[in-house]
Amino acid sequence: MVQPQVPTWATDAVFYQIFPDRFAKSARIAKPRNLEAWDTPPTLYGFKGGDLAGVQDHLDVLQDLGITAIYFNPIFQSAANHRYHTHDYYQVDPLLGGNPAFYALRDELHRRGMRLILDGVFNHASRGNFYFNDILENGPQSPWIDWFTVQAWPLHAYDQDGPPNYECWWNLRALPRWNTTNPAVREYLMRVGEHWVREGIDGWRLDVPNEITAPGFWQEFRQRVRAINPATYIVGEIWGDAAQLIQGDRYDGVMNYRFTEAVIQFAGQEHIQVEQVTGVGYHPYPAIDAATYADKIDALLGSVPWAANLGQYNLLDSHDTARLRAIFAGDEAGVRLATLLLCTYLGPPSIFYGDEIGLDGGKEPACRAAFPWDHPDRWNQTALAYHKQFIALRHQQPALRTGAYQRLFPLPGDTSAAARAVYAFTRTLDDTTLVVAVNAGTATQRIPLAAASLVGRGTPRVLVGQPNNITRQGDHLELTLPPRDGVVIALAK
């Protein structure tokens, strides 16, 4: 079996996900007139005109937050504001500034020691893609007819006279599926992947890769892009169990929605708004207690090799889900606890743009609102402060990035009131052990923390939380934890 080899830079990274149309726009990029006003609620089809030069203009802010890598939703030429309808894989969308804006941003990111990964939409194209458009123009005489799977003529690409009569993603006419069993199509997509790695991207986030079932497709993709840059980071958008897909031959990690589910269930408790998390692709409800959360995390960590856990792309929300703040109905304590669990977990954390300043929004399109750069008075300074604190802690403590992870409390079989409310674990690297504990309940809890990893350690040093709540009793610690609160404690030999 191939052993997972996750690039070191990715293991150490803190990601920031940017939806390019909504993050920032620059006066340096010419714009058409028919754009939505930046501060109006987002719509499904409207464009607001965010661009890559706008991202470049705000890199100081992202670095101050502690961000070291950016995942961009699709940036290639497209007739959709989300750009999952790819027209041309070799051209950055002109609304984003085209290829020159990309190269300028790439160079500035790398000058700052930051990384970027792009969204690779290789399962489907769009009706505007040259190869499919040729079929629309030429019908059965098109030279590219076998690049897609046509079932009948004439194609119902725009009319509603019948169901789509060609293979398309989830029966959406705008998204014809590539025929990836065709060697020519396969080679075309492989070369796209190689091209942008040669052009300096640091990785690919692969859209719905499980829907490409051609044998060996993703194994070949990995081999070819890694041959150009062995440090290319490859993330699959897999919502369910991905244990067999991150064994070292395809992806370095997946968008870890199974972790997302567990964190929402535990940190959210009675604040979870079920209507915001149904019909999406994950199931972060009903609420669970600490013992159940501990079991879920144990199972998740134990399902893949250690190195694969280091490559998991961990998140609390994304462009495909309601924002965490909306899911928790604005409960600040729950959002803070979830963010603490995210930043202390195994594998790089990702912040969805705007979460750090309290940007709100339910399911699509509300989760894709524009970043309020011109209204800093609307920023949630409390959220910004703890995001900075937890991200800085991850950078300062190597144990949070690569240290061993051990469940500390509750132990299996514990049915106490504390076991329903408090989850604690250790991260250990060399002579340093960090204890992370979260009380998701509504009452203060006092718990013992006893483990071999704590024996022989020095005086506890509180990194997050109140220092007067920890005492040492022989070889174990006793922790008093207020409701809806968390702590991080450092112990050294």
pLDDT score of 274 more than 90: yes
Which residues are within 8 A (CB) of 161 and not within 5 positions of it... i.e. 6 or more apart?
none
User: CATH for 403-492, among 2.130.10.10, 2.102.10.10, 3.40.390.30, 2.60.40.1180?
Assistant: 2.60.40.1180
Which residues are within 8 A (CB) of 54 and not within 5 positions of it... i.e. 6 or more apart?
23, 24, 25, 26, 29
84 neighbors 129 (Cβ within 8 angstroms)? no
Q: Where are the domains of the chain?
A: 8-123+180-396, 403-492
Query: Which residue from 484, 478, 337, 314 is spatially nearest to 409, judged by alpha carbons?
Result: 478
pLDDT score of 364 more than 90: yes
CATH code for the part of the protein at 8-123+180-396:
3.20.20.80
Q: Mean pLDDT over residues 269-296, rounded?
A: 97
Query: How does pLDDT run across 184-243, given as a tens digit for each residue?
Result: 999 999 999 999 999 999 999 999 999 999 999 999 999 999 999 999 999 999 999 999
Query: Measured at the alpha carbon of residue 233, what is the angle toward residues 231 and 239, in degrees to the nearest 5?
Result: 165
188 neighbors 179 (Cβ within 8 angstroms)? no
Question: Could you give the CA distance from residue 155 to residue 139 in angstroms, rounded to a whole number?
Answer: 8
- Average pLDDT over the chain, rounded to whole? 95
Q: pTM of the predicted model, to two decimals?
A: 0.97
Task: For helices 257-268 and 332-343, give the axis angle rounded to 10 degrees.
Answer: 140
288 neighbors 249 (Cβ within 8 angstroms)? no
Dihedral of CA 205/208/209/212: which sign?
A: negative
Q: What is the pLDDT of residue 470?
A: 83
Q: Mean pLDDT over residues 264-270, rounded?
A: 98
Q: Mean pLDDT over residues 154-177, rounded?
A: 92
Q: What is the pLDDT of residue 1?
A: 58
Query: How does pLDDT run across 66-106, given as a tens digit for each residue?
Result: 999 999 999 999 999 999 999 999 999 999 999 999 999 99
Q: Mean pLDDT over residues 395-415, rounded?
A: 96
pLDDT score of 273 more than 90: yes
Q: Mean pLDDT over residues 340-349, rounded?
A: 98
Query: Measured at the alpha carbon of residue 253, what is the angle toward residues 168 and 229, in degrees to the nearest 5?
Result: 95
pLDDT score of 358 more than 80: yes
Q: What is the pLDDT of residue 319?
A: 98
pLDDT band at 133 (very low <50, low <70, confident <90, very high): very high
Query: How does pLDDT run across 423-457, given as a tens digit for each residue?
Result: 999 999 999 999 999 999 999 999 988 766 676 67
Which residues are within 8 A (CB) of 140 and not within 5 positions of it... i.e. 6 or more apart?
153
pLDDT band at 263 (very low <50, low <70, confident <90, very high): very high
Q: What is the pLDDT of residue 452?
A: 65
Q: Mean pLDDT over residues 157-164, rounded?
A: 86
pLDDT band at 163 (very low <50, low <70, confident <90, very high): confident
317 neighbors 276 (Cβ within 8 angstroms)? no
- Beta bridge pairs of residue 351: 16
Query: Measured at the alpha carbon of residue 243, what is the angle toward residues 237 and 247, in degrees to the nearest 5?
Result: 95
Active-site amino acid positions: 207, 237
pLDDT score of 467 more than 80: no
Query: Which residue from 256, 311, 293, 331 is spatially nearest to 424, judged by alpha carbons?
Result: 293
Question: Could you give the CA distance from residue 241 to residue 250 in angstroms, rounded to a whole number?
Answer: 15
Query: How does pLDDT run across 469-485, given as a tens digit for each residue?
Result: 788 777 778 899 999 99
Phi and psi at residue 167, in whole multiples of 5°?
Answer: -70, 130
Cis peptide before 42 (omega within 30 of 0): no
Task: Say if strands 349-352 and 314-315 run parallel, antiparallel, or are unpaired.
Answer: parallel
